């Protein structure tokens, strides 16, 4: 393991998701949905809090109406892309 700065956004997001799903990082594929990983809506909210903390970003996620959120949670890859976008916006 290198220093945490060397980790890509994708690595960190997947690690957070893996922790929530209680899976190994290598067991997670980018095309899987949170549901497929066994993450329920509460787990998803916890994942998003963890992501916000890890990246110091504000995720536009409405736990009550996740379908209306601007934050795409349809798959692991979508979550990663959404986080990358937020991080990029925050740095600009």
Residues 70-75 have a mean pLDDT of: 90
The pLDDT of residue 1 is above 90: no
Residues 12-26 have a mean pLDDT of: 97
Selected residue with higher pLDDT from 69 and 33:
33
Residue 55: its pLDDT value, please? 96
Every domain of the chain and the residues it spans? 4-91
Q: Which residues of 23-49 are buried (b: 16+ CB within 10 A; e: fewer)?
A: beeeebeeebebeebebeeebbbebbe
What pTM does this model have?
0.85
Q: Does domain 4-91 sit in CATH 1.10.533.10?
A: no
């Amino acid at each position: 393991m290198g220093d945490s700065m060397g980790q890509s956004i994708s690595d960190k997001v997947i690690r957070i998701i893996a922790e929530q799903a209680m899976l190994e990082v290598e067991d997670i594929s980018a095309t899987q949905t949170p549901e497929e990983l066994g993450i329920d809506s509460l787990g998803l909210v916890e994942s998003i809090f963890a992501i916000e903390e890890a990246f110091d970003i504000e995720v536009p996620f409405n736990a009550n109406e996740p379908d209306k959120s601007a934050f795409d949670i349809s798959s692991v890859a979508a979550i990663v892309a959404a986080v990358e976008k937020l991080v990029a916006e925050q740095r600009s």
